[in-house]
Amino acid sequence: MLTIENINVNYHHAVQVLKGFSLTVNQGEITALLGANGAGKTTVLKAASGLLGLENGHIEDGQIQLDGVSILKTKPHMLARNGLVHVREGRRIFAEMSVEDNLTAASYALTGRHKKADYQQVYDFFPRLKERSKQLAGLLSGGEQQMLAIGRAILAQPKLILLDEPSLGLAPKIVDEIFEIVRRINQEQGVSMLLVEQNAAAAFRVAHQGYILENGKVVLEGSIDELKQNKDIQTFYLGMGEHQDASSFRDVKHYKRRKRWLN
Amino acid sequence: MGQVMQYLLNGTMNGALYALIAVGIVSIFKSTKVVSFAHGHVIMFGAYFYFTFAVILPGAEFMPDWVAKWEPEWLLAYKEGAMMFSPKAAIAAWVSNLPRIVLGLVGSIICNALLAVVIERLFMRPLLGQSSLSMILCTVGLIWVLEGSASLIWSADIDQVPALGPNFPIRFQLFGDQVFLFSASVVNFVIALLLFAALMLVLRFTRSGVAIRATAEDQSTAYAMGINVPAVFTSAWVVAATTGAVAGAILASRNGLSPTLGLFGLSVLAVVLMGGLDSFAGVFIAAMIIGIMEAFTQWKFGGEYAEIVPYVLVLVVILWRPNGLLGQAEIERI
Ligand SMILES: Nc1ncnc2c1ncn2[C@@H]1O[C@H](COP(=O)(O)OP(=O)(O)OP(=O)(O)O)[C@@H](O)[C@H]1O
Ligand SMILES: [Mg+2]
């Protein structure tokens, strides 16, 4: 579905953020991308959705393909119209527009696809949005705003959703609710996803494959079942084991472990 | 006391014209975050285009006579015996001017739209992704480009251009005051209001309006959701230039054609700052306040003060509310 091969990314031709980064999202699967703050997770998503150029970010080497076609030069709106939708970090709903108008804005992704915007489908996933459809989106609660952000993506009838930290700042109960919807979108609609998360436990519940990013490099990758067995993951990402106070993966000699997964 | 209504009306009518000019600046700012200093000069081009299509072209050899002066039988019969300055005579004169008025408006709207596309493609698009300051400075540079090319293109003698509506004096009583207006000003006023209202309705209630508002709020997110943001930018410039073409035609018929039209448009920037760069409603209110203030200062203190007092008010408002009457705080950083 989505393959990123060996990309180097910098901002302003100065700060090198991704170094030889590669990742694959398989058709119909959810791939989780985990990593500490500033590791470069959002940068990966912006590289795929074409937003990097707007922030003076540059992909120097490597290749990004959607269904085998290079998308390095494709404009963001054309990517959305080709089924690649980016749900951005911090939700980025249009606060001064009604919930319904937010969804209408998303219907532009259907341009040229002979598909009709299915508002009811979004409201079926998120009944709470239906009740508030005429309300200004800025007045929604944080959880509802995240639902709207995902709702916009559903309305765009994508084949791939890039989902950036949907759990950010939400209560555990809402996080569960949202991840349940994420799972349903994946299973019922067959939508593939690249899921960026800090909340590894939540991500592991829905994902099939996982990548761990540190300082712009992949340090671990594998199926979720494999990752769950990994001692360091258990310690640093799932909060199990005795090193609970250690905060960064950096302290560990991770290259050895990386080798283990790559061999 | 007796003239309050008169000056209130004069001010309101001028205010509506300011609002029509301001609409262009706001629509460009809202979607692109660029303050166009060149809007006055785009309006000046609109005025010159109107002159070209309503005066020069109808007078050309190859044009049929009826374009310059349309006099069908029934019109001659209608104006038979009409008194000078009577509504009847004015309406008859207007009808016979109608072909060239329409030609002038259509021509200036189309040419100004093309001008906007050229400006956007040539000067704005390459700067996309750069700071908006560089784009704003670019519009300042455009002032001289436009002024220079206008004087190259339109070196011929400038003639009177036809008013958009029939022009006859109207007298009536309003709340006990005797007031006096020209019908052409009333027509201009109505056109300005209708255009302003139409734009608001499109923005509020159409799907294109949603795309524009989404772009105004968050460009990159709108882009990532499938909205063709560069096309929205272009259309914002086109909206500004076409409303500016109408404003230019009105100004040219009212005050005559001259390169100072551009500066007049520039002064409306003060109105926009007072209302709030990103607020159509705020700018409408500010336009009315300034229009009325100007009329009253003119009345009480004379013409010299009319040019100063309203702008002092603008400064005071900006000191009190740096983002204008209804502007959003967020735009401070620009
Ligand atoms: N627009 C930008 N201009 C310059 N540097 C940037 C920009 N965006 C991100 N960076 C830098 O790139 C690095 C990676 O940022 P990125 O947002 O990709 O991290 P992240 O993994 O998503 O972090 P978080 O978990 O905090 O969201 C950071 O050091 C950040 O400062
Ligand atoms: Mg991030």
* Cα A44 to averaged position of ligand 2 atoms, centre (Å): 9
- CB A216 near ligand 1, within 6 Å: no
- Taking the C-alpha atoms of residue A88 and residue A76, their distance in angstroms, rounded to an integer, is 13
Do B129 and A51 lie within an 8 Å CB cutoff?
no
Residue A241: pLDDT band (50, 70, 90) is low
Average pLDDT estimate for B153-174: 84
A80 touching B, CB under 8 A?
yes
B134 in contact with A, Cβ within 8 Å? no
Residue scoring higher pLDDT (B152 or A80): A80
Ligand 1 within 6 A of CB of A89? yes
The predicted-structure confidence for A24-75, as pLDDT tens digits, reads as follows: 999 999 999 999 888 999 999 999 999 998 888 999 989 999 999 999 999 9
* ipTM given for this complex: 0.87
Helix axes B229-255, B183-205, angle to 10 degrees: 170
Q: What type of residue is A191? A: V
The residue type found at B141 is: G
Residue A144, token pair as written in the block = 């509802």
Per residue in B8-28, pLDDT (tens digit) is 999 999 999 999 999 999 999
pLDDT for B239 equals 95
Ligand 1 binding pocket includes A158 (Cβ within 6 Å):
no
Cα(A29) to ligand 1 centroid in Å equals 26
Whether the pLDDT of residue B2 is over 90: the answer is no
Q: Judge contact between A18 and A47, C-beta under 8 A.
A: yes
B210 touches A: beta carbon within 8 Å: yes
Query: Which chain B residue shows the shortest CA-CA distance from A82?
Result: B226
User: Mean pLDDT across the stretch B237-266?
Assistant: 90
Cα B239 to chain centroid, rounded:
11
Give the pLDDT score at A209: 94
Q: Please work out whether the CB of residue A67 comes within 6 Å of at least one atom of ligand 1.
A: no
- Which are the contacts of B172, defined by CB distance < 8 A and separation ≥ 6? B178, B179
- Kindly state whether A159 is in contact with chain B, defined as any CB-CB distance less than 8 angstroms: no
Q: Is residue B333 part of a domain?
A: no
> What CATH code is carried by the domain that includes residue B254?
1.10.3470
Residue-wise pLDDT tens digits, A101-136: 999 999 999 999 888 999 999 999 999 999 999 999
Does any domain span residue B329?
no
DSSP-derived secondary structure letter, A223: E
> Minimum mean pLDDT among A28-37, A122-131, B284-293, B323-332: which range?
B323-332
Question: Is the model's pLDDT at A236 over the cut of 80?
Answer: no
Give the percent of chain B with pLDDT over 90: 49
Residues of A whose CB is below 8 A from B223: 51, 54, 75-77
Instruction: Tell whether B334 is covered by a domain.
Output: no
CA of A250 vs chain B CAs: smallest distance (Å): 33
Q: How far apart are CA B277 and CA B330, in angstroms?
A: 11
Residue A254: is its pLDDT beyond 70?
no
| Predicted model pTM | 0.86
Residue A108 has its nearest CB partner, among B217, B219, B225, at: B225
- Nearest-5° angle of CA B49, CA B161, CA B298? 105
Q: What is the SS3 assignment for A131?
A: helix
Residue of A49, A75, A108, A148 to mutate, interface with B, max B Cβ within 10 Å = A108
Q: Which of B131-135, B222-226, B279-283 has the lowest mean pLDDT?
A: B131-135
Q: Is 60 exceeded by the pLDDT of residue B1?
A: no
CB A218 within 8 A of CB A31: no
**How far lies A53's CA from each of A12, A40, B65, in Å?**
10, 16, 56
Query: Does B218 sit within 8 Å of A51, measured CB to CB?
Result: no
Q: Name the average pLDDT for chain B.
A: 88
Query: What was the pLDDT predicted at A262?
Result: 42
CA angle at B210 for the pair B330 and A146, rounded to the nearest 5°: 65
- What share of chain A has pLDDT > 70, as a percent? 90
Count of domains for chain B: 1
Q: What are the CA-CA distances from residue B18 to residues A185, B247, B309, B310 (Å)?
A: 51, 9, 16, 13
Task: Report CA(B172)–ligand 1 centroid distance (Å).
Answer: 68
Q: What is the pLDDT of residue A240?
A: 64
Does pLDDT of A256 surpass 80? Answer: no
Q: Is the minimum CB–CB distance between B234 and chain A shorter than 8 Å?
A: no
Question: What are the angstrom distances between the C-alpha of A263 and each of A7, A23, A213, B325?
Answer: 22, 16, 18, 65
How high is the mean pLDDT of chain A?
Answer: 88
Q: Is the pLDDT of residue B33 over 90?
A: no
Tell me which of B79 and A184 has the higher pLDDT: A184
| pLDDT confidence of residue B331 | 43
Q: Which residues on B lie below 8 Å from A97 (Cβ)?
A: 210, 213-214, 217
Residue A253 CB-half CA count within 13 A: 2
Q: Which of A15, A49, A212, A249 to mutate to test the pocket of ligand 1 (most atoms within 8 A of CB)?
A: A15
Q: How far is CA A229 from CA A223, A225, A226, A232, in A?
A: 10, 7, 5, 9
| Residues B18, B12 contacting (CB under 8 angstroms) | no
Residue nearest to atom 9 of ligand 1 (CA): A43
| Model confidence band, residue B329 (pLDDT cutoffs 50, 70, 90) | low
B143 pLDDT band, cuts 50/70/90, is: very high
The answer to whether position B67 is within a domain reads yes
> Comparing A258 with B202, which gets the higher pLDDT?
B202
Report the amino acid identity of residue A227: L
Q: Which of B258, B208, B272 is nearest to B39 (CA)?
A: B272
Q: Taking the C-alpha atoms of B70, B72, B74 and B77 in order, what is their torsion angle to the nearest 10 degrees?
A: 80
Among A55-64, B78-87, B289-298, the least confident range: B78-87
Check if A13 contacts B (Cβ < 8 Å). no
Residue A194 confidence (pLDDT): 96
Note whether residue B201 is domain-resident. Answer: yes
Best residue among A4, A9, A42, A249 to mutate for probing ligand 1's pocket (most ligand atoms within 8 Å of CB) is: A42
Do A76 and B224 count as a contact with CB atoms less than 8 A apart? yes
Residue pairs spanning A and B at CB distance below 8 A: 77
In A, minimum Cα distance to B221 occurs at A92
pLDDT attached to residue A44: 95
Question: In terms of residue numbers, what domain contains B163?
Answer: 2-320
Give the residue among B144, B145, B157, B248 at the shortest CA–CA distance from B195.
B248
Tell me the C-alpha distance between A151 and A87, whole Å.
10
Query: Can you read off the two tokens belonging to residue A247?
Result: 């905060």
**A92, A94, A111 member nearest B226 (Cβ):** A111
Q: Per residue in B197-230, pLDDT tens?
A: 999 999 999 999 999 999 999 999 999 999 999 9
Is residue A3's pLDDT more than 70?
Answer: yes
State residue B190's pLDDT score: 96
Say what the pLDDT of residue B76 is.
84
- Average of pLDDT values for B282-294? 92
Q: Are A30 and A193 in contact (CB under 8 A)?
A: yes
Label residue B251 by pLDDT band (50, 70, 90). Answer: very high
On the question of pLDDT at B3 being above 90, the answer is no
- Whether B254 is in a domain gets the answer yes
> Between chains, do A54 and B223 touch, taking CB under 8 Å as contact?
yes
Percentage of chain A with pLDDT > 90? 72
Q: Which ligand is nearest to the CA of A198?
A: 1
**Among the ranges given (A158-162, B117-121, B325-329), the one the predictor scored with the smallest mean pLDDT:** B325-329
Q: Which residues of B touch A86 (CB under 8 A)?
A: 224
DSSP reduced 3-state for B94:
helix
Chain A nearest CA to B204, separation (Å):
10
A245 part of contact set with chain B, CB < 8 Å? no
pLDDT at B26: 93
> Is residue B177 classed as helix, strand or coil in its secondary structure?
strand
Q: Is B232 on the interface with A (CB under 8 A)?
A: no
Instruction: Report which DSSP code applies to A136.
Output: B
Q: Decide if pLDDT at A233 tops 80.
A: no
Helix axes B4-32, B229-255, angle to 10 degrees: 150
pLDDT of residue B250: 95
Is the predicted pLDDT of residue A243 greater than 50, yes or no? no
More confident residue, B14 or B303: B14
CATH of A2-229 given 3.40.50.300, 3.30.450.40, 1.20.1050.10, 3.30.950.10: 3.40.50.300
Ligand 1 site, residue A13, Cβ cutoff 6 A: no
Amino acid at site B64 = P
| Dist. CA A220–CA A254, nearest whole Å | 8
pLDDT bucket at B58, cuts 50 / 70 / 90: confident
Task: Sort strands B169-174 and A217-223 into parallel, antiparallel or unpaired.
Answer: unpaired
Query: Is residue A55 lining ligand 1, measured as CB closer than 6 Å?
Result: yes
Q: Of residues B1 and A68, which shows the higher confidence score?
A: A68
Task: Show the tokens assigned to A30.
Answer: 């959810």
Q: Which residues of B277-316 are buried (b: 16+ CB within 10 A; e: fewer)?
A: bbbbebbbbbbbbbbbbbbbbbeeeeeeebeebbbebbee
What atom in ligand 1 is closest to the CA of residue A41? 21
- Nearest 10 degrees: CA dihedral of B325, B328, B329, B330? -150
Report DSSP letters for A45-113, one per residue: HHHHHT-GGGGTEEEEEEEEEETTEE-TT--HHHHHHTTEEEE-TT----TTSBHHHHHHHHGGGGTTT
CB neighbours of residue B218 within 10 Å: 18
Averaged pLDDT, B147-167 = 85
- Closest-CA distance, A88 to chain B, in angstroms, reads 8
Strand partners, B288: none
Q: What pLDDT score does A253 carry?
A: 44
Ligand 1 lined by A151 (C-beta under 6 Å): no
Q: List the structure tokens of B262.
A: 């551009």
